[in-house]
Structure 1
Amino acid sequence: MNPTPQTAPVPRLIRADQGNRIINVHDEVTFKLTGPDTGGVFALGLATTQPGGGPPPHRHSREDELFIVVEGEIQCGTVNGWLTARAGDVVYLPAGSVHTFHNASDAVAKHWILVTPPGFETFFERFTNVLNAAQGGAPDMAALHAAAGDFGIDLLPPHALPAR
């Protein structure tokens, strides 16, 4: 997918209660800034992950991803092993790296997600629509893989990463 031309960004304040809030069975992300807001430079969202939540292993072919943990802790899996990130920690996941994250604690975890270039915010909304359409049943895996593939994201099996 080719990026669309962007308009010049303007200075702005996004209040704590503002943003595009997207909720699925595993996670909630409130996107505070999207590609159009930043002139196509990055997207920024605040993720809330319930205990046990997190995505399957995956790889972004386009985006570098940065997590800044603000509450609780998340375990980040990479091909090099698992890391536990706590409030104040930063995790950098370059484009092309296989990764996942998981909230293994009993408390809600919150972390900022910064992706560059943007586009992940559009993917996450489409992916969530497919998950939510399942209404608690098995999601349409072909539709999930198609959504991911359209955005240069590969969904991988659990064995793509070392066991926790």
Structure 2
Amino acid sequence: MTVLRSQEGQTLQVLSDRVCIKLKSASSANRMAVMSVEVPPGGFVPPHTHDKEEESYFMLEGTMTMQLDNQEWMLEPGDFVHVPANTIHGYSNHSDQSIRFLAWSVGGAVDEFFTEMSENIQTMPDDLPKMPAILEKYGIQMIDPA
């Protein structure tokens, strides 16, 4: 059993996003990880896929643009999205305020990916050469927006 208060969890800076890990995948029999994510104005995650994880998003604050395969969705507080493994997805914050959402994944170790990214990718563009090996380790493929 795990009980965490609102300000508890492992907080990481992952590129532009502030990620607070509430449940680590290693603590769950089904490899579920739960995170709260804050995305600043202009922040984004480019289109990508996960080999292992299914991900779900629940919007808490603000409006987020989410790409799912070839469609874009505007998500508002209360909206929910489920992303099966190997589905192209990404998100962006085009507003002038930070947005927040709850994200959880099942089937992999996306929380360990976030930790490794936070520890190794801190200075852009200097640290970019480290990124492909981290992505490959966790079965994440970046998709050229073409």
Q: Classify the secondary structure of the residue corresponding to 2:91.
A: strand
* Structure 1 residues 5-46: Cα deviation after superposition (integer angstroms, max 9, x where no partner): xxxxxx221111110100134101100001122234300000
Partners of 1:34 and 1:118 in 2: how far apart? 10
> Who is 1:114 aligned against?
104
User: TM-score, normalised on structure 1?
Assistant: 0.83
Code of the aligned partner of 1:90 = F
Q: Is contact 1:22–1:28 with CA below 8 Å preserved after alignment? A: yes
> Who is 2:118 aligned against?
128
Over 3 Å counting, the alpha-carbon distance change for 1:76 and 1:139 in structure 2 is farther
User: Residue 80 of structure 1: CA displacement?
Assistant: 2.6
Matched residues, number: 146
> Who is 1:152 aligned against?
139
Gaps of 5+ in 2: none
Partners of 2:15 and 2:55 in 1: how far apart? 22
User: Which of 69, 76, 80 pairs up with 2:66?
Assistant: 76
1:1-164 alignment, distance < 5 Å: 11-132=1-122, 134=123, 137-159=124-146
> Who is 1:162 aligned against?
none
The alignment-based identity, stated in percent, is 24
Q: Is contact 1:130–1:139 with CA below 8 Å preserved after alignment? A: no
Question: Highest CA radius of gyration, 1 or 2?
Answer: 1
Q: Classify the secondary structure of the residue corresponding to 2:120.
A: helix
Code of the aligned partner of 2:58 = I
Gaps of 5+ in 1: 1-10, 160-164
* Structure 1 residues 125-152: Cα deviation after superposition (integer angstroms, max 9, x where no partner): 11222321x2xx3143331111011000
Partners of 2:70 and 2:145 in 1: how far apart? 15
Q: Classify the secondary structure of the residue corresponding to 2:2.
A: coil
Q: Is contact 2:64–2:75 with CA below 8 Å preserved after alignment? A: yes
Which structure carries more strand by proportion? Answer: 2
Partners of 2:4 and 2:101 in 1: how far apart? 17
* Structure 1 residues 86-127: Cα deviation after superposition (integer angstroms, max 9, x where no partner): 000001111000110001111110000110024000001112
